[in-house]
Amino acid sequence: MIPTLYILFLMVPIYWLASMSLKTNGEITGGFSLWPRSPTLANYKVIFTDPSWYHGYINSIIYVVMNTAISLAVALPAAYAFSRYRFLGDKHLFFWLFTNRMAPPAVFVLPFFQLYSAFGLIDTHIAVAIAHCLFNVPLAVWILEGFMSGVPREIDETAYIDGYSFPRFFFRIFTPLIASGIGVTAFFCFMFSWVELLLARTLTTVNAKPIAAVMTRTVSASGMDWGVLAAAGILTIVPGALVIWFVRNYIAKGFALGRV
Amino acid sequence: MKPWNNKAWLFTIPTLVLVAFSAVIPLMTVVNYAFQDTFGNNVFTWVGLDWFRKILHSERFLAALIRNLAFSAIILAIEIPLGVLIALRMPKKGIGVPICLVLMSLPLLVPFNVVGTIWQVFGRNDIGLLGASLKGLGIDYNYVSDPIDAWGTVIAMDVWHWTSLVVLLCYAGLASIPDAYYQAAQIDGASAWAKFRYIQLPKLSRVLTIAVLLRFMDSFMIYTEPFVVTGGGPGNATTFLSIDLVKMAIGEFNIGPAAAMSLVYFLIILLVSWVFYTVMTRHDD
């Protein structure tokens, strides 16, 4: 009962966005109507036929996928180190990683811009992917460490006795054991990189401009283009919804095993 | 007990390099700004702790800080109990599980500015479903001019946006409780409340601490969503720390005070989070 009411509460604004995306601007601003009176796909057509719109989606997807891949690649060995060994300053390092999620981005964007221009990275997908690592890598290390700690250490030792080298052990035996953890981590990296706007907008101008930044274009002299904005909004939910559909079985199971 | 091995550091190097690249230089630059004044042309003069003194005595900063603390407290007071309650009542198996998970995750996947846009239109009392319904019920609601309505809208928006994160964490925490605990409780004839208080709540303490921590950090740094909906208004009613900071840094180009404010802001988050982290890892090895 309570979950149903809650889902209803979640769906109403999304329904409103979907219904707006099927209306003309005249109908949206003309007054209140619960259903679109004459549903039209014109708003979606604008997005799919205008390169500056659909390139926004492509740009976002490129840097989000890059970020997810990089975050996982660097977080896996680090999480293994934290879960299997104690070393000088391990707890301090773990907490320091964590502090990178706490910097209010507003003022930090200026030096960010200077840093990335010094390396000639402005307006590239890799710049946004690397910048988003600032908050995604600590989260990835944190989640993966929990999953890895759930795998008994005897498995490592047996593999070494059987003559496995470390890389072979890690990729052939260990990685499959924490597959669901990797799925959950990938989902979280995808989600946080997908919704972040401030850094992505600061580091890009034209060629790597994210969709969320393209959307601010709909404010023009002739007023807001609400219909196109709503259609673009609906389309920003689709990729994430697809990702969660694919990892849905891992989420509950994964969290249960993990530290989080 | 984990073996001691300092070579494990080698495994953390890629992570360290990548995070430090984006973290250390910007942080040092902000520290630099915070102790200097500039009139443009890259000429900087040392001003010591002046900006910090100014910030800590500024009523504008204190007002934004109090507003933000109140906002975070309200958010936590609503989202945490609500999230636990929903997680407790969610189906445990069957087709309902993936449906609930997917539908509940949708708000989490909406870009921040789109969240703001949705609520901005949704709440308008001429063309939005929420605003128009409230008006239809005879409630005088206008988030553009009434501070209380603006707060209500921003809070409802955050509850809509983030409660699912708490639900997902708690659902997973509950799923990890072995059946044996419940069987023992059944034999003892424990009430539903006793089961919650003595089995579920203790097992949830860890995920709950993390949920509280994440929600605290994010709500304390909230920027895009309220900015899109209310722009910090009416007046300064919903000007939270981040909104004030951006006004100062970009609108008024007061880099020095803005940098000092960022550091104070960062230290507050760090301090609160450190307390949570210490509590959280208290029982670890």
Residues B210-260 have pLDDT tens digits of: 788 889 988 998 888 888 888 887 888 888 888 888 888 777 777 788 888
Predicted confidence at residue A31, as pLDDT, reads: 72
Q: Would you tell me which CATH number, out of the four given (3.90.1150.10, 2.40.50.140, 3.40.190.10, 1.10.3720.10), belongs to the domain B57-284?
A: 1.10.3720.10
> Do residue A84 and residue B26 have CB atoms under 8 angstroms apart?
no
pLDDT for A252 beyond 60: no
Q: Which stretch, A69-73, A92-96, A204-208, B124-128, has highest mean pLDDT?
A: A69-73
Separation of first and last alpha carbons in chain B: 8
Whether A30 is in a domain gets the answer no
Angle at A195 between CA A193 and CA A199, to 5 degrees: 65
The pLDDT of residue B77 is: 94
Q: What is the mean pLDDT of residues B264-280?
A: 85
Average pLDDT value for chain A? 84
Which residues on chain B are in Cβ contact (under 8 Å) with A226?
121
Distance from CA of A136 to the nearest CA of B (A): 9
- What is the rounded CA–CA span in Å between residue A243 and residue A237? 10
Instruction: For residue A75, give its domain range.
Output: 51-225+234-257
State whether A215 and B113 contact (CB < 8 Å).
yes
Q: How far is the C-alpha of A114 from the C-alpha of B285, rounded, in Å?
A: 43
Is position A246 within any domain? yes
Smallest Cα distance from B186 to chain A, Å: 23
Asked if pLDDT for residue B269 goes beyond 60, the answer is: yes
Q: How confident is the model at residue B161 (pLDDT cuts 50, 70, 90)?
A: very high
- Tens of pLDDT along A92-101? 888 888 788 8
Residue A122 resides in a domain: yes
User: What DSSP assignment string belongs to B146-174?
Assistant: -HHHHHHHHHHHHHHHHHHHHHHHHHHHH
Which CATH number do you get for residue A103? 1.10.3720.10
Q: What is the pLDDT of residue A258?
A: 46
The pLDDT value recorded for residue B158 is 95
Cβ neighbours around B115 below 10 Å, total: 24
Evaluate whether ipTM surpasses 0.90.
no
Q: Which pLDDT score, from 0 to 100, does residue B50 have?
A: 80
Q: What is the mean pLDDT of residues A146-160?
A: 83
Asked if A6's CB is within 8 angstroms of B104's CB, the reply is yes
Count how many domains chain A has. Answer: 1
Interface check for B276 against chain A (CB to CB < 8 A): the answer is no
Phi and psi, residue B41, nearest 5°: 55, 20
> Residue range B62-71: average pLDDT?
92
Output the pLDDT for position A11. Answer: 92
A45 is a domain residue:
no
**Whole-prediction pTM:** 0.84
Going from N- to C-terminal start, the domains of chain B cover: 57-284
Range in A36-45, A123-132, A141-150, B155-164 with the lowest mean pLDDT = A141-150
With cut-offs at 50, 70 and 90, classify the pLDDT of residue A253.
low
Between helix B255-280 and helix B201-220 the angle, nearest 10°, is 180
Residue A230 CB: number of other CB atoms within 10 A?
Answer: 25
Q: Which two tokens stand for residue A78?
A: 């680090």
> Which residues touch B137 (CB under 8 Å, ≥6 apart)?
none
Residue A152 CB neighbours (<10 A): 10
